[in-house]
Structure 1
Amino acid sequence: MTQAYEPAGGTNARRVARMPRHREVILDILREGHHHEHVHGIVQVEVTEVRARMQALVARGLPPPSMTAFIVHGTARAVATFPQVHAVRTGRSLTEFEDMDVSTIVERMLPDGTQVPASMIMRAANRAPLRAIHDQLRAAQEAELRGITLANDRLSRQANILARLPRPLRAVVWWLLRRSPVLRKRMIGTINVTSVGMFGELGVTGWAVISGPWPLIVTVGSISRVLRPGADGEPREAEMLNLVVAIDHAVVDGGPAARFIAHLIDTLEAGAGLDAFEASAVGG
């Protein structure tokens, strides 16, 4: 990022910096989020057993799945049971896709030390095992950063071209995406999973509420340690994952939305995908 410094003097000392290109895309995403009527479920998921199983793999010298991969996998599985929550609205029509393309962000470090978010889309995540999703995320962390994406396919190149366009032309592209569910799914996916990992690193307990152009957004906050009643009624320490689930209320009514969130919690607490992951880790 090129920085220009103005001379210090009095109370007007300041630093002026050019906005990075990826911030323009983030502003577009925030503006597009205003076209959705999201309602937010602020929930907690007990991951005590899930984390214990992951730590058991580490103790055996085996790499565990990342928590982001685990949540992407569980979210896609839950949406497969309630596919209406990722339906794309165009006017008075709803397009419900069989496969769930999940968008997520991987932070990368530039040579100058600046951390930037790079996007990736996991295609048909509902049909991918946890191992495949984990491997995709790990590969993305090592992949060459190309503009705002981590791939070099045709859609990624188009996304990078979009980021370089002036705002009026980008607005035309977003207008087209709002009118073509298929193009929208191809370019940005229908589900977004965002992990605010910084919370845990800073020792902060909390949730994060974000906006975006997806009908379903799952935002991962920190893991809290709380006391909960055990099977014997005695208090025990439990690890609770803080999640915010945003669902487009123009697409789904409150009842189905609440049932989906409950099913998502059950899916994650049951450790969906861990059995097969553990088997592949031992066998691999």
Structure 2
Amino acid sequence: MRRELLVPKLGLTMTEGTLIEWMISPGDRFDADQGLYVIESDKAANEVSAEGSGVLLEVTAELGMPLSVGSVIGYWDDDPQAATNHAVRAEPSAHAAAASASSPDSNAANAAPSAQTSRPPAAMNGQSGQSGQSGARGISTPLARRLARERGIDLTNLAGSGPRGRIRARDVELAPANSPASAPDVPLPATASRAAQVAQAATVRAATSIEKTIARRLVTSKQTIPHFYLSVEAEISAVQRLRSQLNDAQSNRRFTVNHFVVAAVGRALALVPEANRVWDDSGITSFAATDVGVAVHTERGLLVPVLRDVGRQALGEVARHASEAIGRAQAGQLNAAEMAGGAITVSNAGMHDVTLMTSIINPGQSMILGVGSVRQVFRPDAHGQPALKNEVGLVLSVDHRVLDGVTALKFLRQVVAAIERPASLLVT
């Protein structure tokens, strides 16, 4: 039976996605759970697998075009013999090009096999007909293939570092680009202006779809979310001492300062549940789970995996889940569901020697905590004498539509309390 292939909803806030790759071609048979195509949301590239075995009949959507959730991008049939009973159609852009190339006088050319049926599968996937890239599809991640296309790298020449030799984005990042030989340098005329020389030295590239989406979401956040900000300093010496003790006692796990901060944020959500809510068009949504997002810098941009129910976990569990999520983000393995939900994100810039960081709220959430680097400062002790302290600057950006200053301050005080008394984070 002829059936539709649709753009799936890959997250709670997803409204559209971009079709960036077909993993099979019209006429190809496939099995249940086999990858068919790749949809890029605002947060991740996701392989969409077949719900059952069948054959791809037709591709109706062009690569690179934004599509609403539920849009039809092609048709398939659960009858493996359907390809012999239906006319198999390729993607619309190629079909139109082939049609425009023909004319009433080209009967001899029309008698030859059409470009649609003779084209290799790689061309169907936006890979410029590189058969090597097509052959590497089954042993590489979608992000790796995307980066390889953008950088002109032949995946067949790469050794993958993933399971069973699977090529990851990091492998492509480390590979030299197969750039064409450059033209010989031609000296500029003596009369060329400095401005012309600078212009010739500049390079411009098209923004990727995910870069465009991130930019759009950040603009939307600043234009539609009324931010206000609270800043404090937290004494972090107790965290540093406990972290050293834990790392000395355990050889299989390394704790970071950020693990303590994330755990403290989760614990504060559990203690101040009125802060654990977000604004949406239908009203104010309050969450029962104490989910916390963690901002991670990757080669694709900033990604935010969301750790589940952090406030009800001990520090060891939080550290393990955070390390796993960060690793998956950096390897380009996150799916949209792993980056959905939660009321708050932690963005830590402490490793960059930043005193304070004022961050932009992630759309769909209501808070983001910017974490600075550790500073040594003198503060008066109980007797009024100067004492050297290790402090970290925290800036909480808050959506004023759902949280007022009193609630936000109450929440932030609980974060600081957990950081300054970190032993409480060792147990649930």
TM-score, normalised via structure 2 length: 0.49
Q: Where do residues 250-261 of structure 1 align in structure 2 (5 Å cutoff)?
A: 250-261=401-412
- Find out whether 1:248 has 2:248 as its counterpart: no
Could you tell me how far apart the structure 1 residues matched to 2:198 and 2:378 are? 50
- Find out whether 1:192 has 2:377 as its counterpart: no
Could you tell me how far apart the structure 2 residues matched to 1:209 and 1:271 are? 25
Q: Any idea what the Cα deviations from partners look like across 1:217-249, whole Å, max 9, x if unmatched? A: 111121111011234432221111111111211
SS in 2 for 1:17: coil
Query: Using a 3 Å threshold, how does the CA distance of structure 1 residues 133 and 32 change in structure 2: closer, same or farther?
Result: farther
Could you tell me how far apart the structure 2 residues matched to 1:246 and 1:130 are? 24
Question: Which of the numbers 201, 210, 216 marks the counterpart of 2:360?
Answer: 210
Could you tell me how far apart the structure 2 residues matched to 1:35 and 1:83 are? 24
Could you tell me how far apart the structure 2 residues matched to 1:52 and 1:260 are? 25
**1:259 deviation in Å?**
2.2
Query: Using a 3 Å threshold, how does the CA distance of structure 1 residues 29 and 223 change in structure 2: closer, same or farther?
Result: farther
Q: Where do residues 1-284 of structure 1 align in structure 2 (5 Å cutoff)?
A: 2=150, 10-12=197-199, 13-33=201-221, 34-60=223-249, 62=251, 63-91=253-281, 93-108=283-298, 114=299, 116-143=301-328, 147=332, 150-152=333-335, 155=337, 187-200=340-353, 204-213=354-363, 214-271=365-422, 273-276=424-427
Could you tell me how far apart the structure 2 residues matched to 1:218 and 1:66 are? 17
Could you tell me how far apart the structure 1 residues matched to 2:397 and 2:215 are? 19
Could you tell me how far apart the structure 1 residues matched to 2:401 and 2:203 are? 43
SS in 2 for 1:133: helix
**1:116 deviation in Å?**
4.2
Farther-moved stretch of structure 1 (230-239 vs 37-46): 230-239
Partner letter of residue 319 of structure 2? H
SS in 2 for 1:16: coil
Could you tell me how far apart the structure 1 residues matched to 2:359 and 2:281 are? 26
SS in 1 for 2:224: coil
Query: Using a 3 Å threshold, how does the CA distance of structure 1 residues 188 and 276 change in structure 2: closer, same or farther?
Result: closer
Q: Which residue of 2 aligns with 1:174?
A: none
SS in 2 for 1:42: strand
Q: Any idea what the Cα deviations from partners look like across 1:70-96, whole Å, max 9, x if unmatched? A: 111111111222222231223473221
Is the Cα contact below 8 Å between 1:210 and 1:219 reproduced in 2? no
Q: Any idea what the Cα deviations from partners look like across 1:158-185, whole Å, max 9, x if unmatched? A: x7xxxxxxxxxxxxxxxxxxxxxxxxxx
Q: After TM superposition, which residue ranges in structure 1, 4 or more long, deviate above 6 angstroms?
A: 3-8
Partner letter of residue 101 of structure 1? D
Task: List alignment gaps of at least 5 residues for structure 2.
Answer: 1-146, 152-178, 189-195
Larger Rg: 2
Farther-moved stretch of structure 1 (244-253 vs 52-61): 52-61
**1:21 deviation in Å?**
4.3
Query: Using a 3 Å threshold, how does the CA distance of structure 1 residues 198 and 115 change in structure 2: closer, same or farther?
Result: farther
Query: Using a 3 Å threshold, how does the CA distance of structure 1 residues 140 and 251 change in structure 2: closer, same or farther?
Result: closer
Identity %: 24
Partner letter of residue 88 of structure 1? V
Could you tell me how far apart the structure 2 residues matched to 1:54 and 1:209 are? 26
Could you tell me how far apart the structure 2 residues matched to 1:92 and 1:61 are? 47
Could you tell me how far apart the structure 2 residues matched to 1:190 and 1:267 are? 19
Query: Using a 3 Å threshold, how does the CA distance of structure 1 residues 234 and 246 change in structure 2: closer, same or farther?
Result: same
Q: Which residue of 1 aligns with 2:101?
A: none
Partner letter of residue 96 of structure 1? S
**1:121 deviation in Å?**
1.1
Q: Any idea what the Cα deviations from partners look like across 1:178-219, whole Å, max 9, x if unmatched? A: xxxxxxxxx24221111124423xxx4333332322112111
SS in 1 for 2:411: helix
Farther-moved stretch of structure 1 (236-245 vs 116-125): 116-125
Query: Using a 3 Å threshold, how does the CA distance of structure 1 residues 196 and 22 change in structure 2: closer, same or farther?
Result: farther
Q: Any idea what the Cα deviations from partners look like across 1:117-145, whole Å, max 9, x if unmatched? A: 33311112222221111101222343375
Query: Using a 3 Å threshold, how does the CA distance of structure 1 residues 205 and 53 change in structure 2: closer, same or farther?
Result: same
How many pairs were matched up?
Answer: 237
Is the Cα contact below 8 Å between 2:368 and 2:397 reproduced in 1? yes
Q: Which residue of 2 aligns with 1:281?
A: none
Query: Using a 3 Å threshold, how does the CA distance of structure 1 residues 68 and 87 change in structure 2: closer, same or farther?
Result: same
